[in-house]
Amino acid sequence: MATEQTTAAELRAPEASALREAVALEHRPGRPSPVSATLTYTWRALLKIKHVPEQLFDVTVSPIIFTLMFTYLFGGALAGDVTTYLQFLLPGILVQAVLFTTIYTGYTMNNDITKGVFDRFRSLPVWRPAPIVGALLGDTVRYTIASIVTLTLGLVLGFRPSGGVVGVVLGVLMLLVFAFALSWVFTILGLLMRSPNAVMGTSMMVLMPLTFASNIFVDPSTMPAVLQGFVDVNPVSHLVTAVRGLMAGEPDLTAVTWVLVASVVLTAALAPITMRLYRNRS
């Protein structure tokens, strides 16, 4: 028996030696730069879409449902015909579709926490904000897909933006900037809530009144005075006004400036809070 054990150990020794030589490095690799680490986590977010394509349902199916439902539900009643109403509605539906997609950022963050991936990320010798910033950049791709799906369907249905391609591109870019800034809100919720379902429920309670009590569907001048006052200060209303103006070829500089400033303020205020929660969460 002793002879057999010795022989087995001798057979394993060359294999272990060969394995050590294979993984041995002449020089210790340097620490990845912040940009490299961030792009790696961005790629991770995109790979999750590749391996779980069902994640694209909310950026493909939901925009189609929203656009068709509200166009044909309200078009004839509010504007007399669907095509006329679509010119007003589509920029707003585009904003709504993308903003609802931002919820996914906090949901996936909380999902990583519950699965233990979060702790592994914090133990790695990389730029500390890289996992969060990378996830946000990866989700920007999702926002872009939602925008393309909504605009494509709108063009098929008869949407004709007076601002042309340039106006549409500028409108989408502005929406993506604001969506990136807003994602920090849901990232914080993802770090604070106990479960992904709690994140989803709380996020919906935040977004539902902001999107439906806005100027997405109707002109605020037709609303009661109290509701109109809320709509006028609603950040979603400012965003819709900016996007709608750019796509119509008549940019509202006040709304555009407000959206850009709000995006910077949101990011500057919420990013440090997010990182503090990220570092201190046990």
Query: Tell me, what's the pLDDT at 172?
Result: 95
Calculate helix-pair angle for 103-115, 196-212, nearest 10 degrees: 170
Q: Give start and end residues of each alpha helix (H) in 102-163.
A: 103-115, 117-123, 130-157
Q: Is residue 7 part of a domain?
A: no
Q: Write the CB contacts of 231 (distance below 8 Å, at least 6 apart in sequence).
A: 213, 214, 215, 220, 223, 237
Query: Tell me, what's the pLDDT at 15?
Result: 65
Average pLDDT of the residues in 137-153:
91
The radius of gyration computed from the CA coordinates of the chain, to the nearest angstrom, equals 24
Q: Which of 117-126, 209-218, 225-234 bottoms out in mean pLDDT, i.e. has the lowest?
A: 117-126
Give the structural domain span for 157: 33-280
Q: Is residue 112 part of a domain?
A: yes
Distance CA(24)–CA(72), nearest Å, equals 65
Query: Tell me, what's the pLDDT at 73?
Result: 83
Query: Tell me, what's the pLDDT at 238?
Result: 94
Q: Write the CB contacts of 172 (distance below 8 Å, at least 6 apart in sequence).
A: 94, 144, 147, 151, 243
In the numeric block, which tokens belong to residue 122?
A: 């914090």
More confident residue, 29 or 119: 119
Q: Do the beta carbons of residue 90 and residue 147 sit within 8 Å?
A: no
In this predicted model, what pLDDT tens digit does every residue of 73-91 receive, in sequence order? 877 777 677 888 899 999 9
Backbone φ, ψ for residue 128 (5° rounding): -60, -45
Q: What is the DSSP letter of 53?
A: G
Whether the predicted pLDDT of 71 surpasses 50 = yes
Query: Tell me, what's the pLDDT at 132?
Result: 87
Q: Is residue 19 part of a domain?
A: no
Q: Write the CB contacts of 220 (distance below 8 Å, at least 6 apart in sequence).
A: 227, 228, 231, 232, 237
More confident residue, 12 or 223: 223
More confident residue, 65 or 80: 65
Q: Which of 18-27, 88-97, 110-119 bottoms out in mean pLDDT, i.e. has the lowest?
A: 18-27
Q: Which of 74-78, 98-102, 137-141 bottoms out in mean pLDDT, i.e. has the lowest?
A: 74-78
Average pLDDT of the residues in 58-73:
85
Query: Tell me, what's the pLDDT at 60?
Result: 81
Query: Tell me, what's the pLDDT at 178?
Result: 95
Distance CA(173)–CA(152), nearest Å, equals 16
Average pLDDT of the residues in 217-240:
89
Rounded to an integer, what is the distance from CA 265 to the centroid of its chain? 18
Average pLDDT of the residues in 59-80:
82
Whether the predicted pLDDT of 173 surpasses 90 = yes
Mean pLDDT of the chain: 84
Q: Over pLDDT 70: what percentage of the chain?
A: 88
Q: Is residue 17 part of a domain?
A: no
Number of domain units in the chain? 1
Query: Tell me, what's the pLDDT at 22?
Result: 62
In this predicted model, what pLDDT tens digit does every residue of 244-255 receive, in sequence order? 999 999 999 999
Distance CA(98)–CA(101), nearest Å, equals 5
In the numeric block, which tokens belong to residue 108?
A: 């996936």
Distance CA(164)–CA(250), nearest Å, equals 11
Q: Is residue 25 part of a domain?
A: no
Q: Is residue 162 part of a domain?
A: yes
Query: Tell me, what's the pLDDT at 247?
Result: 95
In this predicted model, what pLDDT tens digit does every residue of 3-60 receive, in sequence order? 554 555 554 556 666 666 666 666 666 777 888 888 888 888 888 777 777 667 777 8
Query: Tell me, what's the pLDDT at 218?
Result: 86
Which of 246, 275, 232, 119 lies closest to 171, judged by CA?
Answer: 246
Q: Quickly state the pLDDT bin for 269 (edges 50, 70, 90).
A: very high
| Coil, strand or helix at 277 | helix
